[in-house]
Structure 1
Amino acid sequence: MTTTAALLDAARVALAGVAKEGLGEERSSRWRGERIVRIGQAWHVGVLLLTDDRVLATGEVLRAADPGRRGYTAESARERAARRQMALRGGFREGEVVHVGWSVIELDAVDAGGASGPLAMRDGVVSVRWSGDSWRPLEGYLSEQVELLLAR
């Protein structure tokens, strides 16, 4: 049986020339205010984020941007614009993709027959939950996602 780590390591090798996206974390201080600061980078592979040594479940994805002066028809749009500005204030470049609210996936738990984040062992096959409650084998999922990233 192929381990979860081995499948993900193969994806990392295949993605070696593909650009990574920023990982952010919210910070707050009296002097610098609310901001999202860079704490790393990862390949965005569907519902997963692959760093050089970890696997994360995706959370919120946004682009750093200055909201300018705009009217908003919904409070949610205003909040999203404020979060994009927090990323800009935290050091991300204008237009840069930022991943926030991600969570670490425990690969040992998956290989032991359990689940972590969107990964789980199902009928002896490492699988990924990718749409609602739909599951598919991780190996095929990674192959498809890597192919899409390489085609950009």
Structure 2
Amino acid sequence: MSTAAEILDAARASLVGVPKEGLGEERSSRWRGERIVRVGEAWHIGVLLLTDRELLATAEVLRAADPGRRGYTAESARARAARRQLALRGGFGEGDVVHIGWSVIDVDAVDAGGSSGPLALRDGVPSVRWSGAGAYMPLEAYLRERIELMRDL
């Protein structure tokens, strides 16, 4: 039986050479205004973001872009375009994928028999809930499947 920490270490080793995506945080200052700045990078693996040291749960994903002059039929589309522009202002390049609102998963708590974010120890097996309504599946199988897909792209 493998622990979640061991499974994640093996995943990191198999992801060497696969591109990472940006992690961002919203910042605001009197001089620079509102922006989304880069605070790190991670491999995006479904509902998980794997960094060199941590595991994070995904939240909002956007692509940095200039909104240009567009008419929006929905206020939500206007708000999303404004958030994409905040990423550009914060230093992300045009078209970069940015993850914001992510949360840290406590892998030690999972290995101790608990749960954290989408991870839990189910019948002694580290497992991940791959969607809000979905069932748990073994973490090792989930990562293997997703990493194979990432390598095929």
Instruction: Give the shorter-chain TM-score range.
Output: over 0.9
Instruction: Determine the structure 1 residue equivalent to 2:146.
Output: 145
CA distance in 1 between counterparts of 2:100 and 2:74 reads 22
Deviation of 1:134 after TM superposition, in Å, equals: 1.5
Quick check: 1:113 aligned with 2:113?
yes
Deviation of 1:4 after TM superposition, in Å, equals: 0.5
Instruction: Determine the structure 1 residue equivalent to 2:9.
Output: 9
Quick check: 1:81 aligned with 2:81?
yes
Quick check: 1:123 aligned with 2:127?
no
CA distance in 2 between counterparts of 1:86 and 1:103 reads 20
Gaps of 5+ in 2: none
CA distance in 2 between counterparts of 1:133 and 1:123 reads 17
Gaps of 5+ in 1: none
Which of 129-138 and 72-81 deviates more?
129-138
SS in structure 1 at match of 2:56? strand
Q: Which 4+ residue blocks in structure 1 deviate beyond 4 angstroms?
A: none
CA distance in 2 between counterparts of 1:72 and 1:30 reads 29
Deviations 1:69-100 (A, max 9, x none): 11111111011001000000000000000000
What root-mean-square deviation, in Å, do the aligned CA atoms of Structure 1 and Structure 2 show? 0.7
Deviation of 1:123 after TM superposition, in Å, equals: 1.2
Deviation of 1:133 after TM superposition, in Å, equals: 3.5
Task: Please give the residue correspondences for 1:1-150 in structure 2 after superposition, counting only pairs within 5 Å.
Answer: 1-131=1-131, 132-150=133-151
Structure-2-length-normalised TM-score:
0.97
SS in structure 2 at match of 1:94? coil
Deviation of 1:124 after TM superposition, in Å, equals: 1.1
CA distance in 2 between counterparts of 1:13 and 1:108 reads 20
Count of residue pairs the alignment pairs up: 152
SS in structure 2 at match of 1:39? strand
Deviations 1:27-58 (A, max 9, x none): 00111111000011000011100110111001
Structure-1-length-normalised TM-score:
0.98
SS in structure 2 at match of 1:92? coil
CA distance in 2 between counterparts of 1:56 and 1:121 reads 17
Deviation of 1:20 after TM superposition, in Å, equals: 0.4
